[in-house]
């Protein structure tokens, strides 16, 4: 049942990614044409960011398709880590983009007399970009909570929405005052929008690849919860990590009281412990090794 629900959820994520990709790619073309016609660096920066949005959505879509492939004898956990690699690529692209925007904007600020910007067309194209990003962000708002891969694409769309808003403000300033430096300042703001999101996404990727416990997961709390289960005497060698966002994995050695083993109650205890993790800690994939009293002395306790 859980696997079926996961497949439905993954299919819905792919549909949303595909729709968002079509919207983003279309607006990218409009923004590039608008940037060439108006001479706006901010609009071109927003178009470049829109391109990375499209690339992020494409990568996320492809990674989601790859991640849906079933496990095999070589990749026993399947291909869910493909989502993490997609998020890693997104984060690196974001960093490179922000550096390029900042360098170009500083160059224009140092030579404002060479900057000619058409505020009217700049405003019109920026409004189209804002509307498109708002729609894409709305489509992905729920799916990004369940998938790191979708979250990477969502963060790019959200950042580009803010970037479009900055371009609109700059266009209004140019129309009202003729101060073309507003275009370069808006470009720097777009770069500033990108950097924190890129760092946050890369840090989350590093956390997953280093097999750290998921954020908000307290291993001690899980261990104490399992110790309160009837028939459990000790819990050690506890490990918690995640394959990707929303896919935590748990393993532990559980010392079982002898009377539970004698009466054949280990199957019921296993079901109870797995249900406990699923209900209280949202861990669907858990593995327990049951041990009799005294057997734990043969192991070095890590958890």
Cβ of 298: how many Cβ atoms within 10 Å? 7
Residue 214: inside a domain, yes or no? Answer: no
- Given this model, what pLDDT does residue 23 score? 84
- Given this model, what pLDDT does residue 99 score? 86
- Given this model, what pLDDT does residue 2 score? 44
Together in a domain, 284 and 186? no
Of 157, 188, 209, the position where a domain reaches its end is 209
Of 186, 209, 232, the position where a domain reaches its end is 209
**Within 13 Å and on the Cβ side, how many CA atoms surround 101?**
31
Together in a domain, 34 and 174? yes
- Nearest residue to 125 (alpha-carbon basis) of 95, 164, 157: 164
Of 181, 209, 237, the position where a domain reaches its end is 209
Residue 292: inside a domain, yes or no? Answer: yes
What CA–CA distance (Å, rounded) separates 218 from 225? 11
In terms of residue numbers, what domain contains 224? 219-298
Residue 78: inside a domain, yes or no? Answer: yes
CATH code, domain with 292 = 3.30.70.1350
For residue range 230-242, what is the model confidence (pLDDT) as tens digits? 889 999 888 988 8
- Given this model, what pLDDT does residue 303 score? 44
What CA–CA distance (Å, rounded) separates 282 from 5? 14
What CA–CA distance (Å, rounded) separates 160 from 168? 12
Residue 229: inside a domain, yes or no? Answer: yes
Give the residue ranges of the chain where pLDDT is below 50: 1-8, 300-303
pTM above 0.75, yes or no: no
Instruction: DSSP for the chain, please give it.
Output: -HHHHHHHHHHHHHHHHHHHHHHHHHHHHHHHHHHHHHT-HHHHHHHHHHHHHHHHHHHHHHHHHHHTSPP-SSSTTTTTHHHHHHHHHHHHHHHHHHHHHHHHHHHHHH-GGG----HHHHHHHHHHHHHHHHHHHHHHTTGGGT-HHHHHHHHHHHHHHHHHHHHHHHHHHHHHH--THHHHHHHHHHHHHHHHHHHHHHHHHHHHHTTPPPTT--HHHHHHHHHTSTTEEEEEEEEEEESSTT-EEEEEEEEE-HHHHHTT-HHHHHHHHHHHHHHHH---EEEEEEEETTGGGGS----
Together in a domain, 235 and 184? no
């Amino acid at each position: 049942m859980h696997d079926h629900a996961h497949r439905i959820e993954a299919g819905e994520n792919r549909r949303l990614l595909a729709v968002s990709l079509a919207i983003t790619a279309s607006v990218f073309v409009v923004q590039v044409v608008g940037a060439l016609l108006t001479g706006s660096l901010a609009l071109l920066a927003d178009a470049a960011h829109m391109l990375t949005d499209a690339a992020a959505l494409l990568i996320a879509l492809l990674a989601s398709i790859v991640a849906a492939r079933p496990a095999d004898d070589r990749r026993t956990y399947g291909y869910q880590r493909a989502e993490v690699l997609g998020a890693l690529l997104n984060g690196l692209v974001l960093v490179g983009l922000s550096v390029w925007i900042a360098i170009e904007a500083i160059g224009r600020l140092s030579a404002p007399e060479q900057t000619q910007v058409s505020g009217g067309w700049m405003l019109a194209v920026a409004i189209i970009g804002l509307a498109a990003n708002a729609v894409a962000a709305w489509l992905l708002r729920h799916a990004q909570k369940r998938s790191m891969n979708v979250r990477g694409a969502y963060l790019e769309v959200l950042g580009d929405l803010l970037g479009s808003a900055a371009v609109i403000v700059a266009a209004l300033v140019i129309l009202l005052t003729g101060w073309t430096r507003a275009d370069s300042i808006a470009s720097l703001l777009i770069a500033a929008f990108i950097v924190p999101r890129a760092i946050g996404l890369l840090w989350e990727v590093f956390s997953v690849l280093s097999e750290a416990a998921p954020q908000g997961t307290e291993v001690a709390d899980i261990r104490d919860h399992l110790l309160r289960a009837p028939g459990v005497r000790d819990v050690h060698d506890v490990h918690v990590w995640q394959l990707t966002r929303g896919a935590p994995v748990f393993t532990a050695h559980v010392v079982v009281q002898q009377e539970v083993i004698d009466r054949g109650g280990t199957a019921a205890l296993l079901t109870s412990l797995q249900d406990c993790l699923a209900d209280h800690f949202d861990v669907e994939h858990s593995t327990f090794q049951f041990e009799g009293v005294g057997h734990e002395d043969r192991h070095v306790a890590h958890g």
